[in-house]
Amino acid sequence: MPTVISVRNISKTFPSAGGATHALSNVSLEVAPGEIFGVIGQSGAGKSTLIRAINLLERPDTGTVTVDGEELTALPADELRRARRKVGMVFQHFNLLEGRTVQGNVELGLEISGASRAERRSRSLEILDLVGLAHKAASFPAELSGGQKQRVGIARALVGRPKVLLSDEATSALDPETTRSILDLIKTINIELGLTVLLITHEMDVVKRVCDSAALLNGGRIQEQGSVVSLISTPGSQLAHDLFPLGEVPAHPGDTVIDVTFSGGTADRPVIAQLARTYCLDVSILGAAIQTIGGNQAGRTRLQLPGTPAVNDEAIRALRGQGMLVEIVGGHS
Amino acid sequence: MIDPSSSDFWPGLFHVLMVGTGQTLYMVSVALVITVLVGLPLGVVLVGTEPGGLFSAPFGSRRFGVVANRLLEFVVNLGRSVPFIILMVALIPFTRLVVGTFIGTTASIVPLTVVAIPFFARMVEIAIKEVDSGLVEAAESLGATRWQIVSKVLVPEALSPMILGMSTTVTSIINFSAMVGVVAGGGLGDVAVRFGYQRYSTIHMVAVIIIIFLLVMALQGFANWLARRFSHQGRVARSARTAASMRVQPAL
């Protein structure tokens, strides 16, 4: 599989009061060209350290980072600076220069790379147009809303035609509606420019909305990673459980409770009606969560089967036979 | 004792004040230019050589950075703690080396500069420390060199507080410039001592005080205006918005 970002066995330890904090332990990631890869984790999981390790704002203690075929961890300082231009980065708190206009902020990357004045002008306006802020070119960041500021941040990251966009909690400081519009913009950029995106977030909604692949980071280690579609059909996947929360399993002594995960082609079949007809089971739905992920319907349903163990077993076998993932979460089987 | 009723008193007063003000402005402006030229980079280096700073390991040596930082801190603290009148006298050999003499207006520029540089460097240091480290990170992510980070991010973003720091520095240079009368430095301080104090002319004294007060006021006002002009942060934008909304209100 070709990769644009390849992280191999990186570790990072920070000295702290009580000895040392292992921010990252032996983390490896592979991001394929043109995909949106989400790293999700709680605060303190090492997300920020991980994304900063990609462009070596935070140099890992061990391991290698390769972007677009170039091993960044092996480059001397001046070549690393040049290589960083291939990696755009968007920040949670936007990090815009208050003293520059919107256009001035966007031009910063081109000034750094030594582009001519005329080129800076035309390129920055072109990219501001892409993010929908051409009319604000002469405004200062203090005059913009949070969502607009992040659009400027995205424009600044894109102006140097990077191969990869890193997004460090880009939507965490924004309200839900603005979050959606920024995520849509990232998705649009991903499709129109074919740009590979690596984003970190603590919000499952972000993964649901835009990510093709995801990794779960916990305590500085990657617990799971893979394409979102394949994770959903992985038994016992923590990410799948978080994507489709069904809550606590209720105590129903005697009855069998199962979680059925649908994905791909199985999602639109009338499964429950079939169960009821074929096995004369009065199936109760205890919970359900359906999402569109990667253009496909996917979801999980928690069902209560009131039949005898033998009938229930047969029903479960039939569901599995149709390619559905069935987990028995309560009662006997 | 000078006689205010004599016919040449007022023309004399005017002449003396003109010369004094001219000398003060000359001393202060030259001292300010040198102070900014030396103090600005010094302030940047002071912040940069701190652990974790941009220049924490100059020439690849972390120890060199620490030593440079300690040394600069020491020099700045020394310069700020020695009383000016003592510094001025102690610097006489150095002044003679630089200017050729230690008497006169030009010679007084040397101690004025020496006292103002550490003061201004501190102001620059404080202003730069206020710049959000995220901005440095953003510039680094775009591939900026250290020099580009200083010239495109740190100094421009700290410009507003630095201008205010500069006006405080000028005020203290004016303040100290009144003391160089001791080494025959001239200026308004010299006028106040020779005419106001030694020859009991209250009118001279009051005139000098008024001129210095007006100078400081004008400078401060100018600096505030300039600082606001370069600050595009919330406060200015807000006031611009409220002004705009006030214009709209009658129409509603």
d(CA A95, CA B226): 24
Q: Is residue A172 domain-shared with residue A206, that is, in the same domain?
A: yes
Contacts with A161 (C-beta within 8 Å, 6 or more apart), sequence order: none
Q: Is residue A189 domain-shared with residue A297, that is, in the same domain?
A: no
Domains of chain B: 9-233 (1.10.3720.10)
B138:A98 CB<8 A: no
With beta carbons under 8 A apart, name residues in chain B contacting A82.
Answer: 143
- Nearest CA-CA distance, residue B245 and chain A, Å: 14
Asked which of A222, A238, A254 is the last residue of a domain, the reply is A238
With beta carbons under 8 A apart, name residues in chain A contacting B231.
Answer: 98-99
Q: Is residue A225 domain-shared with residue A250, that is, in the same domain?
A: no
Asked which of A238, A255, A273 is the last residue of a domain, the reply is A238
With beta carbons under 8 A apart, name residues in chain A contacting B134.
Answer: 91, 93, 95
Domain that holds residue A258: 246-330
In angstroms, the Cα distances linking A227 to A164, A216, A223, A246, A290 are 18, 12, 14, 22, 18
Write the DSSP symbol of residue B5: T
Average pLDDT over residues A176-190: 94
Angle at which helices B202-230 and B9-48 pack, to 10 degrees? 40
Write the DSSP symbol of residue A259: E
Question: Any chain B CB within 8 A of the CB of A87?
Answer: yes
Backbone angles phi, psi at A117, to 5 degrees: -60, -45
Examine the pLDDT at A75 and tell me if it is beyond 90: yes
Backbone angles phi, psi at A292, to 5 degrees: -100, 115
Q: Is residue A153 domain-shared with residue A298, that is, in the same domain?
A: no
Q: Is residue A154 domain-shared with residue A20, that is, in the same domain?
A: yes
Q: Count of CB atoms within 10 A of residue A187's CB? A: 15
- Asked whether A151 and A131 are in contact (CB, 8 A), the reply is yes
Between A55, A112, A160, which is nearest B148 by CB? A112
A98:B230 CB<8 A: no
Nearest to A225, CA basis, from A210, A203, A207, A205: A207
> How much is the ipTM here?
0.83
The whole-number pLDDT of residue A253 equals 62
Q: Is residue A203 domain-shared with residue A269, that is, in the same domain?
A: no
CATH number of the domain that residue A291 is part of: 3.30.70.260
pLDDT band at A295 (very low <50, low <70, confident <90, very high): low
Q: Is residue A196 domain-shared with residue A278, that is, in the same domain?
A: no
Tally of domains in chain A: 2
Q: Is residue A233 domain-shared with residue A250, that is, in the same domain?
A: no
Asked which of A238, A255, A281 is the last residue of a domain, the reply is A238
Nearest CA in chain A to B155: A99
The whole-number pLDDT of residue B125 equals 94
CATH number of the domain that residue A100 is part of: 3.40.50.300
Per-residue tens of pLDDT for chain B, all 252 residues: 677 788 888 888 899 999 999 999 999 999 999 999 999 999 999 998 887 778 877 777 778 888 888 999 998 888 888 888 898 889 999 999 998 888 888 999 999 999 999 999 999 999 999 999 999 999 999 999 999 999 999 999 999 999 999 999 999 999 898 888 767 778 888 888 888 888 888 888 999 999 999 999 999 999 999 988 888 765 444 444 444 344 333 333
Residues in chain B whose Cβ is within 8 Å of chain A: 132, 134-135, 137-145, 148, 152-153, 156-157, 159-160, 230-234, 236-237
